Structure 1
């Protein structure tokens, strides 16, 4: 039983005339009669009584009519849902982000814009460090991730650079240098650094270490913070100093002072990464929203 047979049946049932029904659906009357006859043979019962000037439904036809309408309605609904899914209006989106990325205005702005534009998408958020996010993206457990790469983008993924933030020095507020408006990075020579584990974000970690070496000193790696957003709390208790993305300066922890780096300091890149061959319309719509947020916030 094909859907067109059911549509032909409905046309005749509503017109109660084969000629008018054929005209309505755009085929000849004899082919329509043959299609209805094929349907009746498949069902095993007559659906119409042929009359001299029209047709009327048999008992079997009367019972079949509401079911046929339901089948066509369900088919139309399925078609509409499929089209919406193809446009990326239905489905799911799993977004990952690093702790420091969440403080960039691009991230909340783009997620908020996407949710408003596509309210029926099942959207979930997950915070993790860069290495873990890329692992989960590669395993297809996440669909798009905001990360802090180093100088190079992760080669296995498609990347969109969203921002390059100047980095800042973070000092205990009681530190002798805490009153300066800006400091060269070399002023931190001999100070113990509070940093996150390199495995959590090798790109950003290496960029900080490379900037210190370029300033003429090897950083003393002291207390390890479980993640970058924990650094401020450890500096507040005077366990060391650090260099952090400027977005982190929004974390106003008592006892911590943020100071601009004089001269050419390191920058922290914010990147959106997706799978290189990603074809999901949902993901493509999200990328478009992120890039739009980037333009609006520049």
Structure 2
């Protein structure tokens, strides 16, 4: 028995007439009669009584027609689900992000818009450090992650830059340097630093250290932290100064003053990563397309600057 047999049977049952059913199906009446006869032989019973002007369901036919309709309906629904998954409109996606990503307005905008456009895609979020997210993506616990620059091998992953964000100086409230509109890096040469741990934030750590050395000094690190939110809170407690992504100003943490850095300005790169083997997964394609639609590329950001 094939699905076409069920479709032919239901069409004849609906029309009560072989010729009208054949016209509806777009086939000839003799081939349709043959298909119905094959179905009846396979079931071992007559499904229709032949009338002078059409056909009527037998008792067995009436019992069978509801099941046939249900099977065809289930097949149509299954086909629709498969096609929606293939278009990225159904299924699930697991997204990871570093602690500072939600403070940049473009990232929450991407998430909100994805959930609005694809409400039937189960969307879950997970927050980890960059090394933790790299491991989670590799282990297939996360499908796509927003990370800082990766320290070490990115084999098996695709890394696409999303944005290059200016970094700013975070000072304890009332600090003497807070009176300046812009602060050159050299002005921090005698300050105690609260800095990212290189083990979990190698990209930002190296960018900050390189900017300090380019200005002629090495930062005097008195405390390390693994999360940028922790760094801002440690600065607020008066432990030292730091250099953080500009979007951290959206934390509105009491006790911290942020000031721009005089050129050259160090950058905090945010990238998205995903498994090379899953590059064509429909939900991933939809999310990547949306990120590219909403967030200007780093090259476009530099041109705008």
Q: Give the TM-score category using the shorter length.
A: over 0.9
Instruction: Give, in angstroms, the shift of residue 155 of structure 1.
Output: 5.4
Indicate the SS of the match to 2:240. coil
Correspondence 1:51-70 to 2 at 5 A: 51-70=51-70
Q: 1:180 to 1:150 in 2, by over 3 A?
A: farther
Contact 1:195 1:223 in 2 (8 A): yes
Deviation at 1:63, TM superposition (A): 0.9
Q: Which residue of 1 aligns with 2:23?
A: 23
The answer to whether the 8 A contact 1:150-1:269 is kept is no
1:1-298 correspondence to structure 2 within 5 Å: 1-149=1-149, 154=154, 156-277=156-277, 278-295=279-296
TM-score, normalising length: structure 2: 0.91
Closer/same/farther in 2, CA of residues 269 and 275 from structure 1, 3 Å limit: same
- Write the distance in 2 (CA, Å) between the matches of 1:243 and 1:152: 23
Q: CA RMSD in A?
A: 2.1
Separation in structure 2 between the aligned mates of residue 125 and residue 19 of structure 1, nearest angstrom: 57
3-state SS of paired residue (1:96): strand
What is the TM-score with the length of structure 1 in the denominator?
Answer: 0.93
Structure 1 contact 151–207 (Cα < 8 Å) conserved: no
Report if the CA contact (8 A) 1:207-1:266 is conserved: yes
1:234-287 deviation per Cα after TM superposition (whole angstroms, max 9, x unaligned): 111211111111111222222211111112121111222222341111111111
Separation of aligned partners in 2, 1:96 and 1:142: 6
Cα deviation code 1:42-73 (max 9, x no counterpart): 21211112334432211101111111111111
CA contact (8 A) 2:129 2:226 kept: no
Q: Can you give the 5+ residue segments of structure 2 that lack an aligned partner in the other structure?
A: none
Moved more, 91-100 or 44-53: 44-53
- Count of aligned positions: 298
The answer as to whether partners of 1:150 and 1:207 remain within 8 angstroms in 2 is no
Q: Distance in 2 between matches of 1:125 and 1:224?
A: 26
The answer (yes or no) to whether the contact 1:150–1:204 under 8 Å persists in 2 is no
Deviates more, 1:6-15 or 1:269-278: 269-278
CA contact (8 A) 1:101 1:148 kept: no
For the residues of structure 2 that align with 1:180 and 1:12, how far apart are their CA atoms? 85
1:30: how far off? Answer: 2.5
Q: 1:189 to 1:150 in 2, by over 3 A?
A: farther
Q: CA deviation at 1:113?
A: 0.8
